Amino acid sequence: MKPHRSSLKPLKSATKSLRKRLTWKGELALATAPTAVILSVFALVEVLTRQRLLFASLASSAFLIYLDPQHGTNTVRTLVISQMMAAGIGFVTYTLLGSGYVSGGTGMIITIVLMILLDVMHPPAVATSLSFALKASNENNLVLFGLAVGITALLVGLERFALWLLTYLSSKS
């Protein structure tokens, strides 16, 4: 195993290991973007499918991005690879094994092992593999999930911009 796992530590550009807490207004500002993105994803899901639970793990992803936007777990690379890989694995185990504990457990184990091997540790992806393994009725859900992951990946950029803006504004005062 590599001694320096990038998805488990702050990004090189981060100046400190832990994010400094902001004022309640600053924290609310950081939480606004993920909340808006996830509500938009939910609206999209509602229009296109009834498989709402397949997208629940993205809400956890959004909260992690809000909590520590500079952490390696929350990079676009880590988010996209882990979530799409987990969805694909869950879908394949559902297709091969049907819906149930064997499918869910198999998908979860494969997802965890591959996240470790590929250095794309993003914990909400485990829930994604379970969601797809337990209820992935068609390929359209996988495509729609990919779109939702893409929208959530944009959130990473929005959060980094918001963090920069808050830092900039707080240095002016």
* pLDDT 10s digits, 113-162: 999 999 999 999 999 999 888 876 666 677 777 877 887 777 777 777 77
pLDDT digits (tens, 9 = 90+) for 7-54: 556 666 655 555 566 677 777 777 777 777 778 777 776 766 666 666
Please state the rounded mean pLDDT for residues 2-9. Answer: 55
Q: How far apart are the first and last CA of the chain?
A: 46
**Type of residue at 30:** L
pLDDT of residue 140: 66
pLDDT at residue 167, rounded to an integer: 74
**94 and 133 Cβ atoms separated by less than 8 Å:** yes
pLDDT tens track for 56-104: 788 888 888 777 777 888 888 998 899 999 999 999 999 999 988 999 9
Residue 12 CB neighbour total at 10 angstroms: 8
Distance of CA 21 to the CA centre of its chain: 22
Gap between the Cα atoms of 75 and 119, Å rounded: 12
Rounded CA-CA distance 21/106 in Å is 39
Q: What is the pLDDT of residue 86?
A: 94
Residue 9's pLDDT is 62
Is the confidence at residue 1, as pLDDT, over 50? Answer: no
| pLDDT value of residue 117 | 95
Are the CB atoms for 54 and 148 separated by under 8 Å?
Answer: no
CA dist 168 → 74, 92, 171 (Å): 22, 46, 5
> Residue 50 contacts by C-beta under 8 Å, 6 or more apart in sequence?
none
pTM here is: 0.70
